[in-house]
Structure 1
Amino acid sequence: MGKSTLFNRLVGKRLALVDDQPGVTRDLREGEARLGDLRFTVIDTAGLEDATDDSLQGRMRRLTERAVDMADICLFVIDARTGVTPIDEVFAEILRKRSEHVILAANKAEGAAADAGVIEAYGLGLGEPIRLSAEHGEGLNDLYSQLMPLADGYAERARQDAPETDVTLTEEEAEAGAPDDPHKPTEARPLQVAVVGRPNAGKSTLINKILGEERLLTGPEAGITRDAISLKMNWDGVPMRVFDTAGMRKKAKVQEKLEKLSVSDGLRAVKFAEVVVVLLDAAIPFEQQDLRIADLAEREGRAVVVAVNKWDIEDEKQEKLRALKEAFERLLPQLRGAPLVTVSAKTGRGLDRLHAAIVKAHDVWNRRVSTAQLNRWLTGMLEQHPPPAPSGRRIKLRYMTQAKTRPPGFVVMCSNTEKMPESYTRYLVNGLREDFDMPGTPIRLHMRSQSDKNPYKSKKKSTPSRLRKHLGKGPADKK
């Protein structure tokens, strides 16, 4: 039909996956759309399937029906080149009953081949169809003309229902409400969290449990999620945007074009995130693919939280937990100290611990240490374990400062940087983690060369001209 293509056109970004085959979209995806001077939220749906049972198609249909009930306006898209099908007529009847405002759009309407399909669309009883070409951006002016009067009505209703917001604060109240941390999550800039893992680890089920509603499509089938769906929520007072991603299999097993698109979409979500939750299956934790996913998040410089799902069906919990922690420290030394949390997406147990771990990981990721503290610490580290002396010349570490946060990045000015062994750099990084309470977060430490040479050594000392004249070495003596 081209619903996702139209969605991407309206939001001005390629957020939704698009492919030639039907049924690519399965979840509800929201985006902030712009059409002329209109600003509105648009939801891309899975499409109405002709199934009402508990099959995957039936669950997709129920999710789409929920979106219809939530929406103020429904845009019913048909394929103008195919014409009106019997299933289109069934869904037109459903929309007439469930939605107050329905706009009919005949997509792929460019060219004479679509004329017959557009004429057929009148028979659906939903008014005059808009001729659209989502791929080429045609017909959007007609869509604007139909949306504008409806949008004006909703804007007026929202103004009447809006609570009082113009409240004057005292000086004390204003000072108390001022944010101390510029990176503290707000409604405008929520904390970005990506949930990643192998297929069927329970990512969508976990996010549904956090939301408290069945917003994402779930089921026993592996690989249901295809898009990286982002959802805004307020989780225990912390504004967050959580990305549900497609399960990531080994590269050799990913053959279909659609799965490649899904995995690349998930990788992009990791790059957008601030905290990455790596979700493992308690029955088969720390498989090779889990380790690759966690390592990817660390290399991208994201704060990492490891969550072990399906903990409710574990019998020997204490013994299993000890084994998990031992395996984590051994297999992922680059994430030393990162939180490992056990959860059950099905029952909701452990979600409070997961929330606390995400908030702390974000705080550590934004941590800043003063230069004075760092240099006092560096002096102590050098006394405890001096740097090596290759070829009899000791490497000198003179000065240290923090250059960045998100993740914490430090610069050390030293001599002979090319001869600094990796083991000594690891010694400093581990010391930073322990002494400044930065567990788990990626730490970047750069050695910057500082020359031992005296910059004035090669310059000849010049005698001032007045002194030269007094000594009889003025210009007159050269004659």
Structure 2
Amino acid sequence: MKPLVAIVGRPNVGKSTLFNRLAGRRLALVEDEPGVTRDRHYADAQWGDRAFTLIDTGGFVPGEKDSLLKQVREQAQLAVEECDVILFVTDGRAGLTSADEAVAGLLRKSGKPVVVAANKLDNASDSMQALSGEFFRMGLGEVMPLSAEHALGVPQLVEAVLDRLPPKQEGEDAEALPDDGTLRVAIIGRPNVGKSTMVNAILKEKRVVASEVPGTTRDPIDSALTYKGHKLILTDTAGIRRKRSIAHRVEQFSVVSALKVMDRSDVAVLLMDATEPAVDQDAKLAGLAEDKGRALVIVVNKWDLIGTDQRRQEAYREALKHSLKFVGYAPIIFTSALTGSKVEKVVDIAVELAEQFRYRAPTPQLNRLLEHMVDSNPAPIVAGKPLRLYYIAQVGTAPPTFALTCNYPERVPDMYKRYITNQLRKTFDLRVPLRLLFRARPGQAKREARKRPHLKGKGKKS
């Protein structure tokens, strides 16, 4: 599990701008008004040889009575309790406020390492150190002046964060999963959808505590299993946690628990409750599996409570495919962990997907497919010039990753990328995430330079 860095602070101090800057891509919505971020956002980041996961949180307003803002604050508190380092963002132009001091008081109680960032100091002539100096009064240690929008002071800020991270663990940020023959399967889902019951049904024993009371599972639990000659590790993740600092509130969406096991799993089994429609939390967990490049099985549990009507099942399947169309490749299974109905099918599909996850396609067959794809659906014209695809090769597994050599790698339209992905899935019967890389031909830059007119000396007076 990569270490977690939580970005917290009162509303409108630039947390999401900093989150996007550190992640290296625009992931969180940024607007110049408070309250835009409500849920927690997660992104992996890399700085030098150290990888970590960022958590962007909503504006932290201590003592707020409004129900929505109260939930936003609770989400931020959960991030603080789960993280390894807190990045406390303040507004350097506005100076220290009572809200900042209230947040600082709560962060001191957490006992977690804190780095204070005085943001929005866009002009070096503003004497950044002087502006940030008053923030030392909060007693949280060094204050880092920066401008997240203009990337000023960001390297120094990140170094301060890295200094406070726990020691690096062996294999902590390895992208490739260890190929020791053991298939790792993560059981994920919202609270009380039957994750622990499902694990017990697969193992045919009461390995984990199962209860209708949300919050029974607190930490990820590994269980070894040999199934039809395959060695598996099933990991039951926590769906919910009750925190001491949140008196009457429980976490509705335990993405941190899923993050902890997703990095070291081949397959994610997303459990859903047949008696409830798909909700945002289900989509977030499915999206997390896609972002992490993990194979995904969608399991609709508690189908025994619905009945045996095949038409109703197909209607549910179609609705699910529509709401989770970004993972439309994932198999959908209807089960009952309580009665054991189709539980073995869940394992069968997980094993099948784990093998697809590490599938390697023959290069000659790939290039015959590429020729067929281009003949059937020619690549489009981009910037007034024809896009040409020359060669394809598989360059990685877990998930299967393909590199395509072309003349304009940065201009391949998303629509054509989807076409290539769908053809790869259809040809090799792959129901796992796929990754496409587009590269220029070796020496293409030199060839392009030779094609340009010789401009040397033009525009000079004779």
| Range of TM-score over shorter length | 0.5 to 0.7
Identity %: 37
Letter in 2 for 1:215: R
Aligned to 2:275: 283
Residues 190, 254 of structure 2: 8 Å contact kept: no
User: Which of the numbers 225, 236, 244 marks the counterpart of 1:233?
Assistant: 225
Contact 2:268/2:294 (CA < 8 Å) preserved in 1? yes
Equivalence map 1:78-227=2 (5 Å):
189-227=181-219
**Aligned residue identity for 1:454:** R
Shift of residue 334 of structure 1?
2.9
> What secondary structure does 2:218 align onto?
coil
Cα shift readout 1:395-441 (whole Å, capped 9, x = no counterpart): 111111101011000011111222221111111111111111112x1
Question: Partner of 1:213: helix, strand, or coil?
Answer: coil
Q: Work out whether 1:423 is the aligned partner of 2:415.
A: yes
Distance in 1 of aligned mates of 2:247 and 2:319: 31
Structure 2 counterpart SS, 1:403: strand
Q: What is the match of residue 104 of structure 1?
A: none
- Please point out which of 454, 459, 462 is paired with 2:447: 454
Query: Deviation at 1:315?
Result: 2.3
1:396 aligned to which of 388, 401, 404: 388
How far apart in 2 are the matches of 1:239 and 1:258? 35
Alpha-carbon distance in structure 2 between the residues aligned to 1:268 and 1:416: 38
Does residue 409 (structure 1) correspond to residue 398 (structure 2)? The answer is no
* Partners of 1:184 and 1:268 in 2: CA distance: 16
User: In structure 1, what is the Cα distance between the partners aligned to 2:205 and 2:254?
Assistant: 24
**Which residue of structure 2 lines up, in the alignment, with residue 37 of structure 1?**
none
- Residue aligning to 2:371: 379
Q: Distance in 1 between matches of 2:291 and 2:427?
A: 23
Three-state SS of the structure 2 residue aligned to 1:356 is helix
Give the CA deviation at 1:391.
Answer: 3.8
Counterpart-to-counterpart distance in 2, 1:305 and 1:414: 34
Distance in 2 (alpha carbons) for counterparts of 1:203 and 1:269: 14
The amino acid that maps onto 1:229 is: I
2:326 to 334, 347, 362: 334
Is it true that 1:310 corresponds to 2:292 in the alignment? no
Q: Secondary structure at the match of 1:338?
A: coil
Q: Which has the higher helix share?
A: 1
Shift of 1:328: 2.9
Quote how far apart the aligned CAs of 1:263 are.
4.5
Could you say if the C-alpha distance between residues 266 and 337 of structure 1 is closer, same or farther in structure 2, counting changes exceeding 3 Å?
closer
C-alpha separation in 2, matches of 1:261 and 1:323: 26
Listed as ranges, the matches of 1:230-269 within 5 Å are 230-247=222-239, 263-269=255-261
Relative to structure 1, is the Cα distance of residues 444 and 263 closer, same or farther in structure 2, using a 3 angstrom cutoff?
closer
- The structure-2 alpha-carbon separation of the partners of 1:197 and 1:262, relative to structure 1 and needing over 3 Å to count, comes to closer
**Residues 190 and 272 in structure 2, CA contact (< 8 A), matched pair in contact too:** yes
* Match in the other structure for 2:285: 293
Consecutive unaligned residues in structure 1, runs of 5 or more: 1-12, 15-182, 459-479
Indicate the SS of the match to 2:439: strand
Q: Give the whole-Å Cα distance in 2 for the aligned partners of 1:262 and 1:393.
A: 48
Shift of 1:327: 2.0
Q: Give the equivalent residue in structure 2 for 1:444.
A: 435
Q: For the structure 1 residues 380 and 217, does the alpha-carbon distance in structure 2 shift closer, same or farther, using more than 3 Å as the test?
A: same
Cα separation, 1, equivalents of 2:427 and 2:321: 19
How many residues align? The count is 272
Once the two structures are superposed, residues 173-214 of structure 1 have per-residue CA deviations (whole angstroms, 9 ceiling, x without a partner) of: xxxxxxxxxx998xx642100000000000001111111221
Q: Deviations over 1:367-403 (max 9, x none)?
A: 1111111111101101111111134310111111101
**Alignment check: 8 A CA contact 2:193 2:272 kept:** yes
Change in 2 beyond 3 A, CA 1:391/1:258: closer
Aligned-pair CA distance for 1:316: 5.0
Which residue of 416, 423, 432 corresponds with 2:424? 432
Give the 3 Å change call, closer, same or farther, for CA 350–261 of structure 1 in structure 2: closer
**Using a 3 Å threshold, how does the CA distance of structure 1 residues 343 and 217 change in structure 2: closer, same or farther?**
same
Q: For 1:392 and 1:261, how far apart are their aligned partners in 2?
A: 47
Deviations 1:88-145 (A, max 9, x none): xxxxxxxxxxxxxxxxxxxxxxxxxxxxxxxxxxxxxxxxxxxxxxxxxxxxxxxxxx
CA distance in 2, matches of 1:256, 1:393: 62
Q: From the CA coordinates, give the structure whose radius of gyration is larger.
A: 1
Cα deviation 1:315-360 (Å, max 9, x = unaligned): 2531232122212322223322321111111111101211211111
SS in 1 for 2:263: helix
Higher mean C-alpha deviation, range 315-324 or range 206-215: 315-324
Q: Say which of 350, 355, 360 aligns to 1:358.
A: 350
Letter in 2 for 1:446: L
Partner of 1:134: none
- Secondary structure (helix, strand or coil) at the match of 1:454 reads helix
Looking at structure 2, the residues matched to 274 and 453 of structure 1 have their Cα atoms a distance apart, in angstroms, of: 42
Q: Which moved more, 1:234-243 or 1:352-361?
A: 234-243
Give the whole-Å Cα distance in 2 for the aligned partners of 1:456 and 1:419.
19
Residues 255, 379 of structure 1: alpha-carbon distance in 2 compared, 3 angstrom cutoff: farther
Kindly provide the CA deviation profile for residues 56-92 of structure 1, in whole angstroms up to 9, marking residues without a partner as x: xxxxxxxxxxxxxxxxxxxxxxxxxxxxxxxxxxxxx
1:324 counterpart residue number: 316
Does the 8 A contact of 2:273 with 2:302 survive in 1?
yes
Q: Is this contact kept in 1: 2:239–2:253, CA < 8 A?
A: no
Judge conservation of contact 2:400–2:434 (CA < 8 Å) in 1: yes
User: Which TM-score applies when normalising by structure 2?
Assistant: 0.54
Consecutive unaligned residues in structure 2, runs of 5 or more: 4-176, 452-462
CA distance in 2, matches of 1:260, 1:279: 15
The 1-side partners of 2:190 and 2:247 are apart by: 16
CA contact (8 A) 2:240 2:250 kept: no
Q: In the alignment, what sits opposite 1:153?
A: none
